[in-house]
């Protein structure tokens, strides 16, 4: 069974390759290459997979999942400039793909000992663009 918890955070970022020309950066990242940065209201959906506990009837205590998401993602990223304030985005370009991958990495690290498995991270950068990171053995 899959259980999904949502969270939001707002952050700024800039997507640029330092050694590339302004034109090349614009081709790759569009307006996202603006050197001074810009921001998004990111919407995060975290899906875990497990079986309901026979006593509690819960796959996971959603309060616990909320706390993990708050500690690992929302607290460090909300109202921050990702490139300057959040590891590893001082050296990894904070594209939606890379931010989603980092969120997956952080959550998987924390949920490793839990009775559930991380199944999917869906990150909306805008209402019209989202990135999914899924466990390899699950259908996309």
Partner 1 sequence: MTTLTRIYRFSASHRLHSAELSTDQNAALYGKCNNPYGHGHDYVLEVTAAGDLDANTGLLLPVAQLDSLVEEHVLRVFASRNINRDVPQFATLVPTTENIAIVITRLLEAHWSAYLHTWRAHLRRVHIQETDRNGFEIALPRPQPTESVTTHA
- Spatial distance between the Cα atoms of 96 and 19, rounded to a whole number of angstroms: 21
By the rule CB under 8 A, 93 interacts with partner 1: yes
Binder among 27, 38, 79, 109 for partner 1 (CB under 8 A): 27
Supply the DSSP symbol for 26: H
Match 């690290």 to its residue by tokens: 109
Smallest distance, partner 1 to C-beta of residue 96, A:
7
Residues 29-48 binding partner 1 (CB under 8 A) are 29-30
Cβ contacts of 104 within 8 Å, gap of 6 or more: 118, 121, 133
Cβ contacts of 33 within 8 Å, gap of 6 or more: 14, 15, 16, 22, 25, 26
Binder among 3, 81, 98, 117 for partner 1 (CB under 8 A): 98
* Closest to partner 1 by CB, 51 or 136: 136
Smallest distance, partner 1 to C-beta of residue 79, A:
22
List residues binding partner 1 (CB under 8 A): 15, 17, 19-20, 24, 27-30, 92-98, 100-101, 127-134, 136, 140
């Amino acid at each position: 069974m899959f259980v999904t918890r949502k969270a939001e955070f707002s952050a700024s970022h800039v997507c640029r390759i330092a050694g590339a020309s302004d034109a090349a950066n614009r081709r790759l990242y569009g307006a996202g290459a603006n050197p001074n940065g810009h921001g998004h209201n990111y919407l995060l959906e975290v899906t875990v997979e497990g079986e309901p506990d026979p006593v509690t009837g819960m796959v996971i205590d959603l309060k616990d999942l909320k706390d993990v998401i708050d500690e690992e993602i929302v607290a460090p990223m909300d109202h921050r400039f990702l490139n300057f304030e959040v590891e590893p985005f001082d050296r990894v370009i904070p594209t939606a793909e890379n931010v989603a991958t980092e969120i997956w990495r952080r959550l998987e690290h924390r949920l490793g000992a839990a009775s559930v498995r991380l199944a999917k991270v869906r990150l909306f950068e805008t209402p019209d663009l989202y990135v999914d990171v899924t466990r390899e053995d699950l259908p996309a």
